[in-house]
Each structure stands twice: as structure tokens, then as C-alpha cells.
Amino acid sequence: MVSQLSEAMLDVIADALVDKGYILLSDIIPTFVSLALLEKMQAKQDVDFKLAAIGRGSEQQVNTDIRSDKISWLDNQDQIDNGFLSIMEQLKDGLNRRLFMGLFDYESHYAVYEKGAHYKKHVDALKGSQNRILSTVFFLNPLWQQADGGELIIYDENDTIIATVPPLMGTLAVFLSERFPHEVLPTNRTRNSIAGWFRVSNANHGF
Ligand SMILES: O=C(O)CCC(=O)C(=O)O
Ligand SMILES: [Fe+2]
């Protein structure tokens, strides 16, 4: 398949991850891909989405005080999902070539936050667990207004806010999973996103 991410774009992303540990991008996923993802998401929302759980393995539980989004996992056998996943694959390969991150696979889910839903401050990977290494959040909300709320707030290690990201169609946030606590503020209207994580394959292999 023809690469959709240019070498120059991959250089910019790699440099930002080295310098700051995160980057906010727009225009990296073609509009026709985003629109297809949104259309599919909206068509499936009433049937296929389940309240997201927190915790791992047998500790998993739904706790809507902490997070109240509903999710559905992407599947690389699905043509629409694959439009997005193939670009994430290019990102993975491009970063591995530049930074030797050892990124091995990528898991991702659609998430719908209905009016009033939120996700309290959390980190996507516990320090030293070296499983989820790099987080991505892709937003699918055309015409988002400030009054709609639902911003992604990213903090640094000292709990200072470093980015307030409106969940606007086409924005992709990429950040190191262990380093940045983040939260989703309550949304005032339905908010659609795809959250994903690049993982390494074993505990000795990290960034
Ligand atoms: O949708 C978002 O803005 C972020 C979601 C998130 O942090 C997560 O699912 O871990
Ligand atoms: Fe998260």
C-alpha cells in the first residue's frame, strides 16, 4: 500500500516525542477516512458499544464515576477500521526506524461520550509496566464549539496543564503513555473518539 505518512511528517513526530514527549497533529488522517470512521461509529453506537471498564484482568470493573464512555474495539479485518489502522501501522514503523522504540502492536477502540460523560485524570500505563508505550487519541467531531466542553486535558509530571485539546474532527494527539496524566472533561454533547495504544512485546523492551 502507498504510504500516506511522509518521511518529513514522521521526522516531525519523532522529533517532538524526543523533545517534549507529545504532539498534537491535524491533517494526518485523510478526511475521507475520518468521515467513514465517524459514519460507521454513529451507525453502530446503539448496538455494539459497551460501558468501558477500568483496571486489568480479573480486577476489571465498570465505574462510571471514573469513566462513563462506551467503547467498541477496532478490527483490522474491517475495511473502514483498516483505513485508520494502516496509517497507525505506518506511524509505528516510522517511529521504530527513527527511535528504536520497539513498538510491536496497536490496540484501539472507538469511544462515545454521551452528554455528561467524562473520564477522570489517569495514566494509560503504570510506570515500569512497559506494555502500553505510546498513546493516541483521534477525534471525530465536526463543528465542535467551546461550549460543547469535552476537552482532553493533558498534564505534565508536575500536574501542570500542558495542553487543552478540543475534540475536533481530524485532530490526533500522540503522547508517551507513562508520562502524561490526562482527563476528558464532561461533554455537553455526544463526543466521538478513537483511543489507541502502541505496545511492546515483552517486558525487557522499552523506550
Ligand atoms: O477520548 C479522549 O480524549 C481520551 C480517552 C482516554 O484517555 C482513554 O481512553 O484512555
Ligand atoms: Fe487515557
Q: What is the number of structural domains in the chain?
A: 1
Kindly give the distance from the C-alpha atom of residue 120 to the centroid of ligand 1, in angstroms, as a whole number. 10
In a domain, 2, yes or no: no
pLDDT value of residue 207: 46
Kindly give the distance from the C-alpha atom of residue 137 to the centroid of ligand 1, in angstroms, as a whole number. 6
From first CA to last CA, the distance across the chain in angstroms is 28
- Ligand 1 surroundings by CB, under 6 angstroms: 111, 119, 124, 137, 152, 182, 184, 193, 195
Q: String of b and e for 69-84 (b: at least 16 CB within 10 Å)?
A: bbbbebeeeeebbbbb
In a domain, 166, yes or no: yes
In a domain, 1, yes or no: no
Residue pLDDT, tens place only, 24-77 = 999 899 999 999 999 999 999 888 899 998 887 777 898 989 999 999 999 999
Boundaries of domain holding 153: 7-199
In a domain, 40, yes or no: yes
In a domain, 68, yes or no: yes
Task: State the CATH number of the domain containing residue 121.
Answer: 2.60.120.620
pLDDT value of residue 197: 97
Nearest to 51 by CA among 105, 106, 11, 109: 109
- What ipTM is given for this predicted complex? 0.98
Lowest mean pLDDT, pick from 60-64, 65-69, 183-187, 199-203: 199-203
CA distance 146 to 188: 10
In a domain, 205, yes or no: no
Site of grid cell 498534564: 155
Residue pLDDT, tens place only, 127-179 = 666 689 999 999 999 999 999 999 999 999 999 999 999 999 999 999 999 99
Task: Give the DSSP per-residue string, the chain.
Answer: ----S-HHHHHHHHHHHHHTSEEEESSSS-HHHHHHHHHHHHHHHHHH-EEPPBSSGGG-B--TTTB--EEEE--TTSHHHHHHHHHHHHHHHHHHHHH-----EEEEEEEEE-TT--EEEE-SS-TTT-SEEEEEEEE-BTT--GGGB--EEEE-TTS-EEEEE--BTT-EEEEETTT--EEEPPBSS-EEEEEEEEE-SSTT---
Kindly give the distance from the C-alpha atom of residue 2 to the centroid of ligand 2, in angstroms, as a whole number. 30
**Per-residue confidence band for 79, with pLDDT thresholds at 50, 70 and 90:** very high
In a domain, 204, yes or no: no
